[in-house]
Structure 1
Amino acid sequence: MKIFINLPTWLGDCVMASAAIYGIKEKFKEAEFIFFGSFVAGEFFKDFPNSSFILENKKRRYLQALFLRKNHQFNLAFSFRSALSAKLILKLLKAKKKFCFDKTIIKEEHQVLKYLNFIENALSFKISPQTLQLPIKAKFNAPLTLKNGKKILALNPGASYGSAKRWEEEYFAKVGLYFAKSHEIILLGAGGEEAKICTKISEILAQNGVKAKNLCNKTSIHTLTQNIALSDLFLTNDSGTMHLGAALGVKMLVLFGPTKFTQTSPWQSKNAKIIHLNLACMPCMKRVCPLKHHRCMKDLNPQMVIEKLKEFKT
């Protein structure tokens, strides 16, 4: 049995699709999987059992599909992406049955359920349990207490989707300063704009006598997962990294602004809380605030977040 899967592009979507993909694995226990997709998707699923991965080359993706057509006969082919390019790749493959996720189906339900329904309807079976699973295994499964008696507060101030999802750098710094007596501060994120954000937060903390460990753009997905697992508290924007925290079950507070928390909130995580305002313009689902005031995040002040974090028993 050979199964092709075109993976979601982004880390968060990969995590949310994991319940459905492990459901396929549970139904076809002996199947060989060939994954296709972005670098991030490949890194996330690289330890998936009995699988191989092909990194998508956007300029040569159709040649890659033709190569797969020539060398593989698939029993099943799935695309968790619904872009035209993904549909064309699926069309080029040799497969007995092909299924493509349709994101145009408008349902006010969580993205995890959308992916689960996609696979359940395709294969006519019920996936159980409907839980997120990480092919990447964290080294520790509990918060770490350091030699100085402190625990770890992890701050994740980035969000690849756009600036509208990001809380203010100064606000993250104020939270770090409040918890500095009881927690060591670590900063998590990717490169580019996120690196600049983490550097600014680190500088603000340093100016106030607090040394943070800036791990932005210095971790693989595997070590990023480890660092989240070791944290006593995890403060994050709505992001792919947030979904790792949900899968790990860490004590996590998620800051929501322009996005629909009903569809992308932490999935089945007893230790996760969300915080958001209720403005008339929310959720706009835009990458940049169309009204240019960004009140959904700016009016969500640090003291509100600190009080919500204090609800966790650290």
Structure 2
Amino acid sequence: MQVSEYNMKILIILPNWLGDAVMATPAIELLASHYQNVRFTFVGSYVSTEALKYHPLCERAIVDDTKKAPSRLVATYKLAKELGRFDMAVSFRNQIHSSLLLRFTGTVVCCARASWHSRLLLSHTPKIRTNQHLVEQYTQIAMINIHNFNEEVPPLRLYIEPKKFDKPTLGINAGATYGSAKRWYPERFAQVAAFYKDRYDIIIFGGPNEVEMAKEIEDNLTALHVKNFKNLAGKTNIQELCANIGGCSLFITNDSGPMHVAAAYQVPTVAIFGPTKYKETSQWKNKKSIIVRHELDCSPCMKRECPLKHHDCMKGITASEVIEAVKKLEI
């Protein structure tokens, strides 16, 4: 079934994680370009809706709290009836309650990745190869209703205005919400930052659960006689986090949500990868991005903690390697 090209109301179920939500933005931009007079309703986690609600075509952004309800099934049904029917609905989450939410709205054209529940409940359920970048996977879900779609997928896009700093600024992001296996070491982040202290002011980023790690970087910088830094870990909301990252001149980070935020603003970035699949979650179309990683027999294991207890995929990466990677960016 072909949907109308006029006055399109599209429901988007966003991924839960910040980075995944940012990686869904090219698909959203393609939907906006293919249908006239589009109005989006975004439903998702607090972090994903906070990051994307500034889109100029966003009519509503709703946090999905149904999992907190005594009966998630009943809460999902009530949310669907509150949302009402759409011309089209797209879920970037591969989860049964997301499929149910789309079905309960009464929307005819519903697109989601193929699974037993999506095939049972929804109209368009493409089988998506997982050995390709997540941006491409999301795009194939969203554009399944476009016949012979073969356009170039655009870069990531956020509509939060980047902050303007008085001096060139280096952002350090040592956190990674997924788990400890993805995290390089605070003292090594500090060594890299100290090396560039004369060229950049330094900002330490981190979420509410990463305050202790950020404090460790702060203590190491102090021990290295670095004074021109600011620790924002746990002190910013999502809008402020994106704005501050967007204003950086250089970003050094683990594989994380803030890494993808930096890509959306085309901030020159060195990304440190350990146990994750860099071909699927690396920065998408950032013109100045370098990955630092070591090829090991045990990687990528995709584990939250190192199952072999040695963490060699991260432990083997030195501060000097990251410094040399920065030099290759030719900033």
Shared fold (TM-score, shorter chain, > 0.5): yes
Instruction: For 1:36-47, list aligned pairs within 5 A.
Output: 36-47=43-54
Please identify, of 181-190 and 118-127, the stretch whose mean Cα deviation from structure 2 is larger.
Answer: 118-127
Contact in 1 for aligned 2:54/2:160 (Cα 8 Å): yes
Unaligned runs of 5+ in 2: 1-7, 116-126
Instruction: For 1:294-313, list aligned pairs within 5 A.
Output: 294-313=311-330
Contact in 1 for aligned 2:255/2:273 (Cα 8 Å): yes
Match of 2:12 among 5, 11, 27: 5
Tell me the residue number matched to 2:29: 22
Please identify, of 14-23 and 56-65, the stretch whose mean Cα deviation from structure 2 is larger.
Answer: 56-65
CA gap of 1:269–1:304, structure 2 versus 1, over 3 A, is same
Contact in 1 for aligned 2:91/2:98 (Cα 8 Å): yes
Q: Tell me, in whole angstroms, the C-alpha distance in 1 between the residues paired with 2:302 and 2:60.
A: 35
Q: Percent identity?
A: 38
Report Cα offsets for 1:20-62 as digits up to 9, x if no partner: 0111122223133221110011101111224201111122454
Please identify, of 25-34 and 75-84, the stretch whose mean Cα deviation from structure 2 is larger.
Answer: 25-34
Calculate the TM-score normalised by the size of structure 2: 0.87
Query: SS at the partner of 1:180?
Result: coil
CA gap of 1:287–1:68, structure 2 versus 1, over 3 A, is same
Q: Tell me, in whole angstroms, the C-alpha distance in 2 between the residues paired with 1:246 and 1:224.
A: 14
Tell me the residue number matched to 1:89: 101
How many aligned residue pairs are there?
A: 306
Match of 1:167 among 180, 184, 188: 184
Tell me the residue number matched to 2:161: 137
Instruction: For 1:100-119, list aligned pairs within 5 A.
Output: 100-102=112-114, 105-119=128-142
Q: Tell me, in whole angstroms, the C-alpha distance in 2 between the residues paired with 1:258 and 1:36.
A: 30
Q: Tell me, in whole angstroms, the C-alpha distance in 2 between the residues paired with 1:252 and 1:244.
A: 11
Q: Tell me, in whole angstroms, the C-alpha distance in 2 between the residues paired with 1:34 and 1:46.
A: 9
Query: SS at the partner of 2:15?
Result: coil
Letter in 1 for 2:187: E
CA gap of 1:247–1:76, structure 2 versus 1, over 3 A, is same
CA gap of 1:67–1:285, structure 2 versus 1, over 3 A, is closer
Report Cα offsets for 1:194-244 as digits up to 9, x if no partner: 111001110111122213200112122222222223222210000011011
RMSD of aligned residue pairs (Cα, Å): 1.9
Tell me the residue number matched to 1:198: 214
Tell me the residue number matched to 1:270: 287
Give the drift of 1:152: 1.5
CA gap of 1:164–1:102, structure 2 versus 1, over 3 A, is farther
Match of 1:209 among 211, 222, 225: 225
Letter in 2 for 1:138: P
Contact in 1 for aligned 2:249/2:267 (Cα 8 Å): yes
Contact in 1 for aligned 2:90/2:112 (Cα 8 Å): yes
Letter in 2 for 1:51: E
Q: Tell me, in whole angstroms, the C-alpha distance in 2 between the residues paired with 1:55 and 1:65.
A: 15
Match of 1:55 among 63, 69, 80: 63
Q: Tell me, in whole angstroms, the C-alpha distance in 1 between the residues paired with 2:132 and 2:100.
A: 28
Give the drift of 1:163: 0.4
Letter in 2 for 1:206: T
Instruction: For 1:222-261, list aligned pairs within 5 A.
Output: 222-261=239-278
Tell me the residue number matched to 1:285: 302
Report Cα offsets for 1:101-126 as digits up to 9, x if no partner: 24884432111111111122233344
Query: SS at the partner of 2:208?
Result: coil
Give the drift of 1:172: 0.7
Letter in 1 for 2:248: S
Calculate the TM-score normalised by the size of structure 1: 0.91
Letter in 1 for 2:185: E
Tell me the residue number matched to 1:69: 81
Q: Tell me, in whole angstroms, the C-alpha distance in 2 between the residues paired with 1:265 and 1:71.
A: 34
Report Cα offsets for 1:78-110 as digits up to 9, x if no partner: 111011221222222210211112488443211
Tell me the residue number matched to 1:78: 90
Q: Tell me, in whole angstroms, the C-alpha distance in 1 between the residues paired with 2:113 and 2:315.
A: 35
Contact in 2 for aligned 1:116/1:127 (Cα 8 Å): no
